[in-house]
Amino acid sequence: MSSKPFPISGLESNPFSTAIDEKGYYHTEANGLIAEELLHGIESRRGFLLLVGERGVGKTSLLLQLLPVLKREKVATSVVLETLTAREDLLPAIAREFGLTIPPSFTLSNVFAVLQQYILDRNAAGKNCVIVVDEAHNLKASALEALRMLAGIKETGGGNAVQILLVGQPEILDRLDQPRLRRLRGLIGTFRKLPPLSRSEVKSYVTFMPANAGARLRPSRTAFCLLWMTTRGNIRLIDLIMERTLHTLAGDSRQKLTARIMLDALKDISSGQVEVARRLRTIRLKLLALACVFILLVAAACAAAIFLPSLLSSHGL
C-alpha cells in the first residue's frame, strides 16, 4: 500500500529534492540571460567559456538546461560531470563522452591525437564540438593546460574547432591567475557569474516548486524571513531546509508553514551546515540584542513613571 510522503494538498513527492532534475527548473532573469550568452558563445565559436558561482547556486542545474538545446542543434557534446583532476583521467573521459573508443594501451599523446582527428572531422562536416567540464575548480594545472591545447585545435578557416565550457566555483579564477595558466585565461571569450537568488526570487521559488509538483505551500512572513536570512538565496540550502519543513508538516499533518516549523528545520539542518548554523546564531544574537534594548526601554519608562511625578512635585511643578 503506497502512502503520500508529504500529505499536503496535491503533493505526492518532494518538490525540493536536492537531486539534479532537468524538469521543474526555476527560471530567473539572471540564469536566462546567462544561458543565452553561453549558447551564443558556443554558436559563435568563442573557444573558451567560463561559468562560475558559489557552491549551491544552481550551476549544474543551469548546465542541464543547456545540454538539450545543444543536442537539438546537433552539436557533438562531451560532458564530464565527475571530478577528474588530472589530465591522465580527464582526456580519456572527454574522448569516451564523445563516443570514442580508447584502448587501455593508449598514451596521452594517442588520446590527444584521437580527439584532434575527431574534432577536425566534425568541423569538416560543418558540425561544432563542445567539451563541458563541471567542478572545474578541482582540476590540476596539467589538466587545465591540456584543455588549453585542445582549444588550440583550429578549423580550416582558422576559427576555434572546439568550444570548452568550464563550470566551477570562484576559486578557479585564482587558479587561472597562476603564471602557468594565464595564457588560458586570456583565451576565455565568455565569462559569466551565476548569482544566488534575490529575496523576491526566494519567495517566488518556495511557492513555485510545490506548485510545479501540484500543491500550494506558502510560508508565513516570519518563516520566510528566517529562510532568507539563513540562506541568502543559496538554492541548495533552500532545498535542504524546505525538505526538512515538509517532513515536519508530514509528521503532524499541519498544512501551514509557520515560523516554529521553520526554526525546527533550521536547527536540524544547522548541525551539518556550518553556514546555516553561523547565520542562525547571528539571528539569535540580533534578537537577543533587540530584547535587551526593549527591556531597557521598558525599565526606563517604568522608572520615569515612578520617579518623575515625585521629582516634578519636589520642584513645585
Task: Say yes or no: 181 and 217 in one domain.
Answer: no
Q: What total of structural domains would you count in the chain?
A: 2
Task: Say yes or no: 180 and 91 in one domain.
Answer: yes
Which cell is 178 given? 597562476
Task: Say yes or no: 163 and 267 in one domain.
Answer: no
Q: Is the pLDDT of residue 31 over 60?
A: yes
Q: Could you tell me which residue, 210 or 296, shows the higher pLDDT?
A: 210
Task: Say yes or no: 33 and 149 in one domain.
Answer: yes
Q: Which of 149, 169, 193 is the last residue of a domain?
A: 193
- Position 157, amino acid: G
SS3 164: strand
d(C-alpha 221, C-alpha 159), whole Å: 54
Q: Which of 132, 163, 193 is the last residue of a domain?
A: 193
Q: Is the pLDDT of residue 284 over 70?
A: no
Task: Say yes or no: 207 and 176 in one domain.
Answer: no
d(C-alpha 192, C-alpha 37), whole Å: 8
Q: Is residue 123 a contact partner of residue 70, using CB atoms and an 8 Å limit?
A: no
Q: Is residue 124 a contact partner of residue 156, using CB atoms and an 8 Å limit?
A: yes
DSSP letters, 214-262, are: T----B-HHHHHHHHHHHTT-HHHHHHHHHHHHHHHHHHT--SB-HHHH
Task: Say yes or no: 189 and 206 in one domain.
Answer: no
Q: Is the pLDDT of residue 18 over 80?
A: no
pLDDT tier at 205, thresholds 50, 70, 90: very high
- Per cent of the chain over pLDDT 70 is 79
- pLDDT tens for 241-276 read 998 888 877 755 556 788 888 888 888 887 767 677
- Does the residue 1 lie in any domain? no
Q: Is the pLDDT of residue 73 over 80?
A: yes
**Dihedral sign, Cα of residue 58, residue 63, residue 68, residue 69:** positive
- pLDDT tens for 227-236 read 999 999 999 9
218 lies in which domain range?
Answer: 197-317
Q: What's the pTM value of the predicted model, to 2 decimals?
A: 0.82
Mean per-residue pLDDT for 204-214? 86
Task: Say yes or no: 100 and 117 in one domain.
Answer: yes
Task: Say yes or no: 253 and 268 in one domain.
Answer: yes
CB-count exposure of residue 81 (10 Å: 0-12, 13-18, 19+): middle
Task: Say yes or no: 108 and 228 in one domain.
Answer: no
Task: Say yes or no: 188 and 207 in one domain.
Answer: no
Mean pLDDT of the chain: 84
Task: Say yes or no: 188 and 39 in one domain.
Answer: yes
Q: Could you tell me which residue, 78 or 86, shows the higher pLDDT?
A: 78
According to DSSP, the residues that pair with 166 across neighbouring strands are 50, 133
Residue 308: how many other CB atoms lie within 10 Å:
10
- Per cent of the chain over pLDDT 90 is 47
Phi-psi region of 90 (alpha: psi -120 to 50; beta: other; left: phi over 0): alpha
pLDDT tier at 3, thresholds 50, 70, 90: very low
Q: What is the pLDDT of residue 300?
A: 62
Task: Say yes or no: 216 and 300 in one domain.
Answer: yes
d(C-alpha 195, C-alpha 94), whole Å: 28
Q: Is residue 115 a contact partner of residue 60, using CB atoms and an 8 Å limit?
A: no
Consecutive H or E run containing 111: helix 108-124
